[in-house]
Amino acid sequence: MKKDLKVIIVGAGIGGLTAAAQFLQRGFSVQVYEQASVLAEVGAGIQSSSNAVKVLYDLGLKKELDVFAVRPQAFEYRRYDTAELMHRIPLGQAHEDAFGAPYFHLHRADLHELLARTVHRLAPDCITLNAKAIKYEESDHGVSLHLIDGRVIHGDVLIGADGIKSAIRAQILGQTAVNYTGDIAWRGLIPVEKLPKGIMETVSTVWCGPKKHAVMYYLRAGALMNFVGLVEHDQPEEESWTQKRPWEELKRDYEGWHPMIQTVIDAMDKDACYRYALNNRPPVSNWSTQRATLLGDAAHPTLPYMASGAAMAIEDAAVIVRCLEQSSSVPDAMQLFQRNRIDRTSKIVVGSTESRGLYRIEDVQAMKQAFADQDLSKSRAQWLYSYDPLNVALV
């Protein structure tokens, strides 16, 4: 299709910015509208497997990523009290050799800043801040985006990359189911100098136990330890990344867990413990119209249990650009995109929800057996990491 199409993206998160950079790199005209007054991300970690890193490399970001990315050697699933190893997924060189790109642990703010810088370099006026989208209209000839301050933006294609509370999703799909999972997520960052030297190898440790699990990995070239604690909790609370809760509650949640977890929690800044309600949104299958579509969390919000939400947004970004390049009309491209992304993203969303049970089995032998039966190392190699959004056939 002609590259003089005007693409409008709502949302400058990881998905929207990756899509903008991919479009610009391939010669499309694109504008991004972001509700926030400054471009920023919260302090937390993101795991990014080869399927997403390939897209970042395609944007020419290898050298910059190497400055702050951590290359974990493995995923290690350990018992919450004894630290006994239940399962191991090799990462490091083995992952890179098998799938053609590394597995990274990244600080969200570092990745977001790098993507924003890349978009600015390609098109300095591409991103408009203080631009909250409220609705859109479409016709056979184009699409119009309405902002809350009355501005109306005209274009050919609209992409809603506006996250889990997407206004564009609400218009396309109406009200969709949102169910509290019964889990909250704690998050915190710890400078490694506050921890005993070499407390953990360069791995991602998933501590598995009754009614809760916890994930730890290094960020920012090893300068920070990322802690995420996922705990069953009766009380639904706000779905907000910036809600703080008392450190004492976190400490209580992990009472009796392994000494390494106690050491990490004890070293955490007591005024910077964040807690977040995790909601489940079942997959949907009709997120495209004639001229509008959704990308990232707006399309397929997921629980974090397969560490693949941002990776899916990055994959979407590469695939939507290819769909517009390959199709003879915008409506065809919107359908091609949806058709080629639904099965994979639904499988990740459902798989993430199911993983929760595996990590929480009370009995040690039953947990060992369940890990052996599922063999995450093999199954993730077969379909999760081996996907290449830049080259997969689009049918």
Ligand X SMILES: Cc1cc2nc3c(=O)[nH]c(=O)nc-3n(C[C@H](O)[C@H](O)[C@H](O)COP(=O)(O)OP(=O)(O)OC[C@H]3O[C@@H](n4cnc5c(N)ncnc54)[C@H](O)[C@@H]3O)c2cc1C
Q: Which residues bind ligand X (CB under 6 A)?
A: 10-16, 33-36, 46-47, 132-133, 161-163, 167, 185, 228, 296-298, 304, 307-311, 313
* Distance from the Cα of residue 389 to its chain's centroid: 15
Burial 263-284 (b: 16+ CB within 10 A, else e): ebbebbeeeebbbbbbbbbebb
State the chain's maximal CA–CA distance in angstroms: 63
Residue pair 15/79 in contact by the 8 Å Cβ criterion: no
| Minimum CB distance to ligand X, residue 285 (Å) | 18
| Residue number with CB closer to ligand X (247 or 274) | 274
User: Which helix (H) or strand (E) covers residue 75, if one does?
Assistant: strand 74-79
| Minimum CB distance to ligand X, residue 80 (Å) | 18
| Residue number with CB closer to ligand X (9 or 333) | 9
| Residue number with CB closer to ligand X (104 or 371) | 104
Burial 339-372 (b: 16+ CB within 10 A, else e): ebbbebbbebbebbbebbebbbbeeeeebbebbe
* CA distance linking residue 176 with residue 300, whole number of Å: 12
Q: Can you read off the two tokens belonging to residue 133?
A: 């989208």
Q: Can you read off the two tokens belonging to residue 246?
A: 């008392």
| Residue number with CB closer to ligand X (2 or 274) | 274
| Minimum CB distance to ligand X, residue 148 (Å) | 8
| Residue number with CB closer to ligand X (132 or 368) | 132
| Minimum CB distance to ligand X, residue 309 (Å) | 2
| Minimum CB distance to ligand X, residue 12 (Å) | 5
| Minimum CB distance to ligand X, residue 65 (Å) | 15
Q: In what order do the strands lie in the sheet with 85-90?
A: 85-90, 74-79, 204-209, 212-219, 224-232, 179-191, 274-280
| Residue number with CB closer to ligand X (346 or 364) | 346
| Residue number with CB closer to ligand X (307 or 334) | 307
- With 0-12 / 13-18 / 19 or more C-beta atoms within 10 angstroms meaning exposed / middle / buried, residue 254 is buried
| Minimum CB distance to ligand X, residue 238 (Å) | 13
The three-class DSSP label of residue 207 is strand
